[in-house]
């Protein structure tokens, strides 16, 4: 399986995080050097809960879910 999830994450939460029906409109990808500015723009537009939540890394397809900033595995 290409998903590593922290043990604190319930199976239900894992399904919500990986379901394309619930995640498609919630994520925006951009250059890492621009990420903080983009989050600030989104917040200024009225979306106070906007957060920088991840990054893209080279390698085979894989999703790693961390809990409280602690890496899984």
Question: Which three-class secondary structure state does DSSP give residue 69?
Answer: coil
Of the pLDDT bands very low, low, confident and very high (cuts 50, 70, 90), residue 2 is: low
Q: With contact defined as beta carbons under 8 Å apart, do 9 and 68 qualify?
A: no
Percentage, residues of the chain above pLDDT 90: 19
The two tokens of residue 60 are 């085979």
41-72 pLDDT, tens digit per residue, is: 999 999 888 888 888 889 888 777 777 665 55
Which pLDDT value is given to residue 13? Answer: 77
Percentage, residues of the chain above pLDDT 70: 74
Question: Which three-class secondary structure state does DSSP give residue 25?
Answer: coil
DSSP label at 67?
Answer: B
- With vertex at residue 4, the alpha carbon angle to CA 7 and CA 50, rounded to the nearest 5 degrees, is 85
DSSP label at 33?
Answer: G
Q: With contact defined as beta carbons under 8 Å apart, do 28 and 17 qualify?
A: no
């Amino acid at each position: 399986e290409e998903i590593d999830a922290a043990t604190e994450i319930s199976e239900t939460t894992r399904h919500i995080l990986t379901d394309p029906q619930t995640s498609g409109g919630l994520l925006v990808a951009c250059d890492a050097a621009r990420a903080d500015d983009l989050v600030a723009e989104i917040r200024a537009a009225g979306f106070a809960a906007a957060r920088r939540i991840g990054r893209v890394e080279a390698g085979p397809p894989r999703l790693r879910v961390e809990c409280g900033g602690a890496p899984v595995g």
